[in-house]
Amino acid sequence: MSPEELSVLALRHRRDADLYVFGSVLSGKATALSDIDVLIVADVTDDEKARLKADVMRKMGFSPAKIHVVSEKEFKKWYLRFINEIERI
C-alpha cells in the first residue's frame, strides 16, 4: 500500500486526520525484521481508533506495520518530543 493510498484510507474515517511515518524506515536503519511505523493523528473515540487501525491493517495485508492512532494533544506532548525523524505523508 502506497503512502497516498494509506492517506486516502485514513481520510475516509476522519477528514481532519494527519498521517506520518517515523522510525527506522526514515532513518535508513531498517532491516528485514523492521516494521513500518505509521502515525495517524486524529481526535477520535476509542471505538473509532480501533476501527481505523483494523481497517488500515486489513488493507495493508501482511505488511509489518505498527499503526499508532493518537490525538493532537498526544502527538504534541509525546511524539514530537521523542521522535527524531518524522515525515508527513
Could you read off the pLDDT of 16-42 as tens digits, one per residue? 888 898 888 888 888 888 888 889 999
Structural domain including 28 reads: 3-88
CA atoms within 13 A on the CB side of 78: 10
How would you label 56-74 residue by residue, b for 16+ Cβ within 10 Å and e otherwise?
A: beeebeeeebebbbbeeee
Total tally of structural domains belonging to the chain: 1
CATH number of the domain at 13, please.
3.30.460.10
Residue 56 clears pLDDT 90, i.e. is over it:
no
**pTM for the whole thing?**
0.80
